[in-house]
Amino acid sequence: MKGQISALTVMFQPPLASNALVRTFVQGVMRIAPPVHSPLAPWDLNLVLSVPQDSPFEPLHELPLLSLSQKVAFLVAITSVGRVSELAALQVAVSGLILDKIVKETNPNIVLELGTYCGYSTVRIARLLKPGIRLLTVEFNPAYAAVAKQIIEFAGFKDKVQILEGNTHDIIPQLKKKYEVDTLDFVFVDHWKEKYLPDIQLLEKCRLLRKGSVILADNVICPGAPDFLKYVRTCGHYDCTNYPSFLEYMNEKDALEKAVFRG
């Protein structure tokens, strides 16, 4: 981890290691003295760092120091997650804590995630799953899928996680036959917001939900998925709970919605 931190620090100006936030974070992680898996999975730092610099993301050198520190802390946290027993480093986002809580309560045997991006929530969920439990995560952007693959492998969750590269609209109908899914225990919905409703209805149509299947949808207020919220709350097939949160880095009010399928 020391190597990664210095590599990251060298790439950024001004040096992040001197920032108080980053220093506290690094000192905290170092104190944990994580057990190291050997041999280490290969880690293509250049690939991982190149994607967040391309459109639609702002070039890293234009970011204010605070956001940059958070991004670096995030990268270090995500890459060390498989190596630490105490995950204080990840407990920064309210939505992440809610996700942890619902995953633990649900204790799923099979999980589907819609929207992988770079694998942050994937790793976050995977670390809570017992050996042998499967997590399928769908991402249609090949560059993001490539980064997520690196991060998931580096974090040590290659055996639990399968990245399904493609559009959720095409992948969901293939889950039963091609990916041997019977029904899903837990679905984390975190892709484009206008897809929440059609994809939930597609899961229903493909008979992938059973009585008690838990759907957890992020960012239902900001950017918001009003048609999805209206549907799960009024169609009569779900028991819903709302969990207020904040949009990371922006301090905007947001929420996650848990919808438990009644069967």
Ligand X SMILES: C[S@@+](CC[C@H](N)C(=O)[O-])C[C@H]1O[C@@H](n2cnc3c(N)ncnc32)[C@H](O)[C@@H]1O
C-beta of 254: minimal distance to ligand X in Å?
12
Do the bridges between strand 184-189 and strand 252-261 make them parallel or antiparallel, or are there none, so unpaired? Answer: unpaired
Among all residues, whose Cβ is closest to ligand X?
Answer: 115
Catalytic entry in 113, 219, 257, 258? 219
CB neighbour list of residue 26: distance below 8 Å, 6 or more residues apart: 5, 17, 76
Kindly identify the residues of this chain, within the stretch 130-189, that bind ligand X according to CB under 6 A: 138-141, 144, 167-168
Strands (E), 63-159: 110-114, 134-139
Q: Which of 113, 139, 199, 218 is catalytic?
A: 218
Is residue 243 a contact point for ligand X (CB under 6 A)? no
Using CB under 6 A as the binding rule, whether residue 245 contacts ligand X is answered as no
Residues 112/118/122/127 CA torsion (nearest 10 deg): 160
Told to judge if 248 belongs to the known catalytic residues of this protein, a careful annotator would answer yes
Q: Can residue 117 be called a binding residue for ligand X (CB under 6 A)?
A: yes
Residue with tokens 């995977």: 126
Binding residue (CB under 6 A) for ligand X from 134, 160, 191, 258 = 191
Torsional class of 163: left (φ above 0), alpha (ψ -120 to 50), beta (otherwise): beta
* Residue 62 annotated to the active site: no
Q: Is the CB of residue 74 less than 8 Å from the CB of residue 151?
A: no
| 100 is known as an active-site residue | no
Active site residue 177: no
Q: Compute the distance between CA of residue 147 and CA of residue 243 in angstroms, rounded to an integer.
A: 29
Of the candidates 149, 193, 195, 258, the residue annotated as catalytic is: 193
Residue entry with tokens 């995953």: 103
Catalytic, 242? Answer no
Report residue 53 as tokens. Answer: 């610099």
Answer yes or no whether residue 121 interacts with ligand X by CB under 6 A: yes
Q: Site for ligand X (CB under 6 A): which residue of 105, 162, 182, 192? A: 192
CB of 153 to ligand X, least distance (A): 16
The contact set with ligand X (CB under 6 A) reads 115, 117, 120-121, 138-141, 144, 167-168, 190-192, 195
